[in-house]
Amino acid sequence: MEQMAVVTGGAQGIGRAVADKLTRNGVRVAVWDLDTDLAEKAATELGNGAFACHVDVSNWQSVEAAAERTISLGGPVSILVNSAGIAGSNAPLVDYPVDEFKAITEINLLGTFHVNRAIVPSMISAKYGRIVNIASVAGKEGNPNASAYSASKAGVIGLTKSLGKELAHMDIAVNCVTPAAARTRIFDQMKQEHIDYMLSKIPRGRFLELEEAASMIVWLCSPENSFTTGSVFDLSGGRATY
């Protein structure tokens, strides 16, 4: 039976790498992204019936509409990967713009809640599902001058643990990953000294490769991952060991 996946932020970065790998495994992908043109281009390149949905994950009505369209076009969603997110600017908390802190939280944390809230009911109906929420090592350790990003990603970890327990009596696995930085367009939002700081914290001495992240995430989305739920899988190159 063909599986249907939703990948938020699927037009670029980790989300796109996951969408590529899922497609190679025969999964049909709905690319949810704020950048409509890039999402359409990604869907065309993916093939296998992939299609794009313009979504603002911070807006519940937008997410709800995308979920309805996805299910009507592709059927029940059995795989969900939440990769949409922003880093925001770098500044000490005492100087952090109040509106920007709120916006980052609305996209990274509320956005993850909105998408899970919209998709989980169809998984419950099917009594099967695999969810991976993309958090960050910053959510474990906290990066200085990135309080909004760190706090929002810590929230994603807590949400994942809570939802995993709620659905543990069904064949629905809910896990998250905590990547170190990968060289994607999210770097464009960061100061060079912050990028250098992140690299200095990684014992491997390099940034995460997108394909490495996709390999772990896609396995977590597979039927093989039939036991672990509500858990956090590390992708930090040795930075975090818990």
Q: Could you tell me if 13 and 182 are in contact, meaning their C-beta atoms sit under 8 angstroms apart?
A: yes
Contacts of residues 111-114 at CB distance under 8 Å and 24 or more positions apart, as own/partner, are 111/8, 111/57, 111/58, 111/63, 111/82, 111/84, 111/85, 112/57, 112/82, 112/156, 112/159, 113/159, 114/57, 114/58, 114/59, 114/60, 114/63
Is 197 considered catalytic here? no
What Cα–Cα distance (Å) separates residue 63 from each residue in 86, 113, 230? 17, 10, 23
Catalytic site residue from 96, 149, 197, 242: 149
Q: How far is it, in rounded angstroms, from Cα 6 to Cα 29?
A: 6
Residue positions annotated with a catalytic role:
149
